[in-house]
Structure 1
Amino acid sequence: MIPDPIPLQEIRRVLVIKLRHHGDVLLTSPVFSALALAMPQAQLDALVYEDTRDMLTLHPAIHQVHSVGRNWKKQGVSVQLREEWRLLRTLGARHYDLIVHLTEHWRGAWLCRWLKPLWSVGPAISKHGKRWKKSFSHRYDHPKNALRHVVEANLDALRRIGIQPDSSERRLSLVPGEAAQDRIQDWLTEQSLANDGFIHVHPASRWFFKCWTSTGMAELIASLQAEGWPVVMTAAPDPAELALVEAIQTALRQLGARPAHSLAGQLSLKELAALTAQARLFVGVDSAPMHMAAAVGTPCVALFGPSGERQWGPWGVPMRVVSSAQHSCRPCGIDGCGGGKVSDCLVSLSVAQVRQAISALLTETTR
């Protein structure tokens, strides 16, 4: 579509909407940086799901983070209506001049109609029909492109209204905060771990078809420990993720190696960011913690299978992607081969491949 600039100097308040998962929300952080530089007079707000708020809170360019509860419906009609009305009143009181909608979620279109900003930009989704089209003053192309990073796709919304972000505005931003940093520093001191003196391993994703094997991860950790690298493992408090960590620890014992340091299930999102910011290297799979590591500037080694690294890889940091060259079918985006939750292109990766990537990145980078 042809760029159709808006008068940026007239904008006083902006709402950016991203109702997706943690990693998706974090990958919108450059949008706020670019908006802040293009219109420094404007206050920038975000609307995200409640559980993803910490991906954007404390961002230096963001004034307020509003949220939608994923569990509103489960609490009954009266609770849902009350919360929805409260949110509409809160957003209405802000009198937004511009709304930037970054997904196909219908809530963004309805909010544009309800809040009536002077300008609104959303993705061009032909299947949504005329009602969607008429909800926005500007629409940007939104193709599914596995060769283009999601960060750039998000920034297309700004290009549509005349903002051309430069390289400095494309960086991710994630601020852990002083409380999280203090807790992690205290823990590292207790464990006699030096800043930049350990490797952070996050073996799980909420989507288990993106995960490597527990035995492979255990062998990798044992090899790192043998070379003098302490390893700190993390995971979400989800039972399946905790079970994966325990399987890795069990495999380490069977190998005759000591268990890794573990904070699995014990950290908030901000504390996870503070931990990975102090690591020499992050090792993991395509997941929100991988994006968090990139956002705080930690070099990343990422294992990719069904998902595509060009679209979802670590952004803006020194990194290595380990993937299978023998599986021409990837990236397929399927939840395991045949929908079986196990991805051949991932489980076939060797420990030697991953170890080689780690060695190369350690040699090339300093912290």
Structure 2
Amino acid sequence: MLKDAIDLSAVRRVLVIKLRHHGDVLLSSPVLSVLKNHAPHAEIDALVYHDTREMLSGHPQLSELFTIDRQWKKLGPLGQLRAEWQLLSRLRARQYDLVVHLTNHNRGAWLVRLLQPRWAVAAIGHFGKFLSRGFSHLYPEIAGNRRHTVEIHLDALRRLGIQPSDKERRLQLAIPEAAREAVRAKLAAKGVSGRYVLVHPTSRWLFKSWPVERMAAVIDGLTAAGDCVVLSAAPDAAELAMVADIQARLKRPVVSLAGELTLKQLGALIDDAELLFGVDSVPMHMAAALQTPCVALFGPSGDIEWGPWQVAHRVLTSDMPCRPCGKDGCGGGWRSECLVRIEEPQVLQAITELRREVGQPAS
């Protein structure tokens, strides 16, 4: 038995801190579920960056969602200090008994020092001696593409004496009905009323993206077989340019909602899709949360650490001894040879196999 397990009956309020990107935040959602399931009397709050808030907003186990806006730095030193102080005051008013810090980020460690909860947990080795002393519990982080990020997050709770069940480890992503209605209206306006395959070819990190000519060839393969294909992408100039390049190469036009959707609307689009095809990016994690089957291409990032979680899927990689390197393309050149080596027939075969697995009829 764990000798220093915490007394959950004494936990009234918990703060979960995850100051990273969208996908990382979504992969922390099971932590909220497990905490609430094991301490149903407790209020579970979260602190994330403001632009990632939609990954947790509406989570059924969440009491309050606090955010740090990265735009505060544009307010000037006094304005930023005022915003930071207001946040600290709101957090202090919650009087947390437990803080779960899931990021190797000094800001969260400083908050632990300032909030002074009875218990606090974080991974070993990310902070200096002074900040580390603010934590009552530290746990070893198994990195290097050997353990999924969800399990690494849940290791924080295991260190406290909380053992999650398999069912508790599901991702959670809440989609408002208004977002669903908006997306269905957009699709209807473009003539889409039935089944569709969603292709999200881009990532905010473009070195994770597949060559446009290969993406276009797969889309042509799908439409030749009778599939309705819908394209999506973030409203980023580089991503929209990539989608436009793909569209220019297609033999048959497809519907595109690239740049037209909010994050919640993108979730609604994914939820209604037959399956998602794309690369290692946040839509893949959203598909996992919504139980939409997905085919994902992985290059320099680790598929064991970041792959689709608890959903029917296929992950395609190439057999290169240097992957996953985590670098921004080979030699830092923003072109990942491990992605280029994946070929179109492999993708189409993976889609066929996944459809067979989940019992979807071929087009």
Q: TM-score, normalised by structure 2?
A: 0.97
The alpha carbon displacement at 1:74 in A equals 2.3
CA distance in 1, matches of 2:230, 2:51: 24
Equivalent position of 2:107 in the other structure: 107
- Whether the 8 Å CA contact 2:17–2:108 is kept in 1: the answer is yes
**Quick one: which amino acid aligns to residue 340 of structure 2?**
V
CA distance in 1, matches of 2:159, 2:127: 20
1:128 aligned counterpart, secondary structure: coil
Mapping of residues 348-359 of structure 1, within 5 Å: 348-359=341-352
Establish whether residue 91 from structure 1 lines up as the match of residue 85 from structure 2: no
- Whether the 8 Å CA contact 1:221–1:231 is kept in 2: the answer is yes
CA distance in 2, matches of 1:115, 1:333: 35
CA deviations on 1:133-153 (whole Å, 9 max, x unpaired) are 201011111232312100000
Q: 1:296 aligns with which of 286, 290, 294?
A: 290
2:96 aligned counterpart, secondary structure: coil
Q: Which moved more, 1:175-184 or 1:279-288?
A: 175-184
Establish whether residue 33 from structure 1 lines up as the match of residue 33 from structure 2: yes
The alpha carbon displacement at 1:189 in A equals 2.8
Mapping of residues 195-214 of structure 1, within 5 Å: 195=194, 197-214=195-212
Establish whether residue 76 from structure 1 lines up as the match of residue 69 from structure 2: no
CA distance in 2, matches of 1:201, 1:288: 13
Establish whether residue 14 from structure 1 lines up as the match of residue 7 from structure 2: no
CA distance in 2, matches of 1:321, 1:349: 11
CA RMSD, Structure 1 to Structure 2 (Å): 1.3
In 2 relative to 1, CA 57–213 (structure 1 residues): closer, same or farther, beyond 3 Å? same
- Whether the 8 Å CA contact 2:113–2:131 is kept in 1: the answer is no
CA distance in 2, matches of 1:146, 1:278: 31
CA distance in 2, matches of 1:227, 1:76: 56
In 2 relative to 1, CA 29–354 (structure 1 residues): closer, same or farther, beyond 3 Å? same
Gaps of 5+ in 2: none
CA distance in 1, matches of 2:358, 2:39: 35
**Quick one: which amino acid aligns to residue 153 of structure 2?**
N
Mapping of residues 194-343 of structure 1, within 5 Å: 194-195=193-194, 197-252=195-250, 257-325=251-319, 327-343=320-336
CA distance in 2, matches of 1:30, 1:4: 23
CA distance in 1, matches of 2:21, 2:176: 21
**Quick one: which amino acid aligns to residue 296 of structure 1?**
L
Equivalent position of 2:128 in the other structure: 129
2:334 aligned counterpart, secondary structure: coil
Query: Aligned residue pairs: how many?
Result: 360
Q: Which moved more, 1:15-24 or 1:110-119?
A: 110-119
CA distance in 1, matches of 2:184, 2:59: 21
Q: TM-score, normalised by structure 1?
A: 0.96
- Whether the 8 Å CA contact 1:95–1:115 is kept in 2: the answer is yes
CA distance in 2, matches of 1:20, 1:275: 24
1:89 aligned counterpart, secondary structure: helix
2:128 aligned counterpart, secondary structure: helix
**Quick one: which amino acid aligns to residue 99 of structure 1?**
V
1:243 aligned counterpart, secondary structure: helix
Q: Which moved more, 1:229-238 or 1:179-188?
A: 179-188
- Whether the 8 Å CA contact 1:3–1:161 is kept in 2: the answer is no
- Whether the 8 Å CA contact 2:198–2:231 is kept in 1: the answer is yes
1:248 aligned counterpart, secondary structure: helix
CA distance in 1, matches of 2:111, 2:327: 32
- Whether the 8 Å CA contact 2:13–2:97 is kept in 1: the answer is yes
CA distance in 1, matches of 2:41, 2:348: 48
CA distance in 2, matches of 1:145, 1:333: 10
CA deviations on 1:5-44 (whole Å, 9 max, x unpaired) are 1000111110000000000000000101100110000110
Gaps of 5+ in 1: none
The alpha carbon displacement at 1:3 in A equals 6.3
CA distance in 2, matches of 1:358, 1:25: 28
CA distance in 2, matches of 1:329, 1:3: 41
Identity in percent? 54
Equivalent position of 2:159 in the other structure: 160
2:94 aligned counterpart, secondary structure: coil
Mapping of residues 22-61 of structure 1, within 5 Å: 22-61=22-61
In 2 relative to 1, CA 163–3 (structure 1 residues): closer, same or farther, beyond 3 Å? farther
The alpha carbon displacement at 1:349 in A equals 1.1
2:240 aligned counterpart, secondary structure: helix
CA distance in 2, matches of 1:129, 1:10: 29
**Quick one: which amino acid aligns to residue 315 of structure 2?**
V
- Whether the 8 Å CA contact 1:3–1:159 is kept in 2: the answer is no
CA distance in 1, matches of 2:297, 2:70: 30
**Quick one: which amino acid aligns to residue 300 of structure 1?**
C
CA distance in 1, matches of 2:231, 2:3: 46
**Quick one: which amino acid aligns to residue 287 of structure 2?**
A
CA distance in 1, matches of 2:12, 2:245: 53
